Chain A
Amino acid sequence: MTASALLPESLRQDFPILAQHVHGDKPLVFLDNAASSQRPEAVIKAMVESYACDYANVHRGIHVLSERSTDAYELARSKVRAFLGAAYEHEIIFTSGTTAGINLVARSWGDANLRAGDEILLNLMEHHSNLVPWFQLAERTGAVVRHIPLTEDGRLDLYDLDEYLTPRTRIVAVTAVSNTLGTINPVRELARAAHDVGAVVLVDAAQSAPHLRTDVQELDVDFLALSGHKMCGPTGIGVLYGRAELLEAMPPMFGGGSMINRVYADRFTSADLPAKFEAGTPPIVGAIGLGAAIDYLEAIGLDRIHAHEQALVERAWEGLSQVEGIRLLGPRPELRAGLVSFVLDRPHAHDIAQLLDREGIAVRAGHHCTQPLHDHLGITASTRASFYLYNTVGEVDALIAAVRDVRDRFKPTGRKRRRA
């Protein structure tokens, strides 16, 4: 590990929530960032200021507050466009989160384009939110779901890709980073192969956009969905990027205000992009908060954030792999993003999480919304520690020590039940 890869610990002071102790005198060690990150003061302030000074509904009021809010909301869109390297602002649709973005594509694009016998190509490391909408689409249309197999160490096995990716494949939906294995998937390579057979590609960027530089044109993907709350932004805001010609051809998903051009007694015409997919009052302040989060992340630099997390995950991998009875899930550190999931021979993930919590260490235990992956791995649950820019080497070491203590405490000692 090179010390220069690490970000300065002083940036923790930007996050007011991190300065607390829990369970008495235990400093909070927040390692549940893949579930949801924390927010810097700058994001909280941007949202408070919006509500306190500039708030009104957008795109309709002929008054000063509405104009200010509209400007701020659209400025947030332009920040997202730059953040994702998209060609046009109207390719950026504000949603409530990654789940909403994927469902929008499955419903709007999927229903309009899929027929019985068409194929949807997925894989078993996907989050439920990138599986269930496609299962539902398959149920509605008679399309068939297929899976790219996984390698032993939890990567996509692209060796026989031709077998799964065929002219019958209409869409490939893939996560850029697995929320359980940490695997960084070769999205660009997959997109190229998909386009060669005429399929479109949707990327679940919930776990990648907060941590790695994203460029939708360089990746050459058709759709990409992300969530604000995992990248220092507020909850309830997300983004769906879509290539303009695809979004233009798609029918609107929700009907209501904002998404119309003209409504008659018995019909309507749709608004242009992006309003066509933003029916109703949007999450205005959420978008403004997301814009502030992007400013914050860009000021530090996504490449530096990734390098910092790489240093942490290498140390975690190294330390945890020496704990007796542990099984680390997913590929070696250089092939993964900043998270580590593991199982101990004993005790169960929930017991581990409960005991780590007593030490002030917040981790996730369970199936992390990847039940098919856990089935595939032959386990019911795992424990996940996920890092972000504000985590430190000291926190990683505390995690390793605490996991070792938990295992020690539960190692078989020849206990006997008292017989009645």
Chain B
Amino acid sequence: MPSEEEIYQDHILDHYEDPFHRGKLPTATHAHEDKNPLCGDVVRIELQLDRDGRVSDAYFSGDGCVISQASASMLLEALVGKTVDEVKEFSAEDMLKLYGARLTPNRQKCCLLSWRVVQQALYSPVGA
């Protein structure tokens, strides 16, 4: 049984208080927004994909629990610079591993929210 000490580890709280690329990306080429219907957490992710099929920039915005917001920050930090194919290959399991702390199934949904949004954003060109 995971304790909250594991869930709220220091590096997670660091991402919560000092997130990577929280905000808007006016040059975004792709974007998607979704929510966790259980708790109402919302995450919007905006991606800039360049001609070589690389994620050249990414920003997130939203409102939710420590886990959903810190995991969005961690995910984007890890994904910027990667190719679209690499992002597609980045699995849910990889996301949980990146987060680090062990989560109960209910809280895994919080952690996987931004991962789901990124996967969908790859197929959601802006203005389409």
In the complex, the answer to whether B39 meets A354 with C-beta atoms within 8 Å is: no
**What residue in chain A is nearest B69 (Cβ atoms)?**
A348
- Chain A residue with the shortest CB-CB distance to B1: A23
Greatest chain A CB density within 10 A among B3, B15, B41, B110 is at B41
Contacts of A381 in B (CB 8 A): 39-41
Q: Counting CB contacts under 8 A, is A349 at the interface?
A: yes
Q: Mark A386-420, 1 if CB is under 8 A from B, else 0.
A: 00000000000000000000000010111111101
B-side interface mostly: helix
Residue among B15, B18, B42 with most chain A CB within 10 A: B18
* Chain B residues positioned under 8 Å from A348 (CB to CB): 39, 41, 63-66, 68-69
Among the listed stretches A44-52, A76-84, A153-161, A366-374, which one makes contact with chain B, having 4 or more residues with CB under 8 Å of it? A366-374
Q: Which of B6-14, B48-56, B85-93 lies on the face that meets chain A?
A: B6-14
Q: With A348-B65, A413-B17, A418-B14 in contact, do A354 and B4 touch (Cβ < 8 Å)?
A: yes
Is A140 an interface residue when CB atoms closer than 8 A count as contact?
A: no
Count, chain A residues at interface, CB 8 A: 24
Q: Please tell me if the beta carbons of B17 and A412 are within 8 angstroms of each other in the complex.
A: yes
Q: Is B73 an interface residue (CB 8 A)?
A: yes
Bound complex: CA A417 to CA B12 (Å): 9
Complex Cα–Cα for A162 and B38 (A):
37
Q: Is there contact, CB below 8 Å, between B40 and A366?
A: yes
The CA-CA distance from A381 to B13 in the complex, in Å, is: 20
- For A358, the chain B residues whose CB sits under 8 A away are 3-4
- In the assembled complex, B20 has its CB within 8 A of some CB on chain A: yes
**Chain A residue at smallest Cβ distance from B106:** A350
Is the CB of B77 closer than 8 A to any CB of chain A?
yes
Tell me if A190 is interfacial: C-beta within 8 Å of chain B.
Answer: no
Bound Cα distance A396, B67 (Å)? 28
Which residues from chain A contact B16 at a C-beta distance below 8 Å?
347, 415
Taking a contact as CB atoms under 8 Å apart, the answer to whether A417 and B73 are in contact is yes
A365: chain B residues within 8 A (beta carbon): 39
Task: Say yes or no: A415-B65 contact (C-beta < 8 A), given A350-B39, A366-B38, A366-B40.
Answer: no
Contact B4 A415 (CB under 8 A): no
- In the complex, the number of residue pairs spanning A and B with C-beta atoms less than 8 Å apart equals 71
Q: How large is the interface on B (under 10, 10 to 19, 20 to 34, 35 or more residues)?
A: 20 to 34
Q: Is A318 an interface residue (CB 8 A)?
A: no
B-facing residues in A280-294 (Cβ within 8 Å): none
Query: Which A residues touch B42, using CB under 8 A?
Result: 380
Cα-based distance from A371 to B69 in the complex (angstroms)? 21
In angstroms, Cα B38 to Cα A367, docked, is: 8
CB pair B65 A347 closer than 8 Å: yes
Q: Is the CB of B15 within 8 A of A417?
A: yes
- Whether A415 lies near B40 (C-beta < 8 A) is no
CB distance from B53 to the nearest CB of A (A): 22
Cβ of A406 to closest chain B Cβ, rounded Å:
10
Complex-state Cα separation, A207 to B19, whole angstroms: 40
Q: How far does the Cβ of A355 sit from chain B's closest Cβ, in whole Å?
A: 6
A416-B14, A417-B73 known; 13 other A-B pairs, CB under 8 Å?
Answer: A348-B63, A349-B39, A349-B65, A350-B67, A351-B65, A351-B66, A358-B3, A366-B38, A366-B40, A367-B39, A415-B16, A416-B18, A420-B77
Chain B interface (Cβ within 8 Å of chain A)?
3-4, 7-8, 11, 13-20, 38-42, 63-69, 73, 77, 107, 110
| 29 pairs, A vs B, C-beta closer than 8 Å | A347-B16, A348-B64, A348-B65, A349-B39, A349-B65, A350-B39, A350-B64, A350-B65, A350-B67, A351-B67, A354-B107, A358-B4, A365-B39, A366-B39, A366-B40, A367-B40, A380-B39, A380-B40, A380-B41, A380-B42, A380-B64, A381-B41, A410-B66, A412-B17, A413-B17, A415-B18, A417-B14, A417-B19, A420-B77
Report the 9 A-B pairs with minimum CB-CB distance, sorted nearest first. Answer: A380-B40, A348-B65, A415-B17, A350-B65, A417-B18, A417-B14, A351-B66, A415-B14, A381-B40
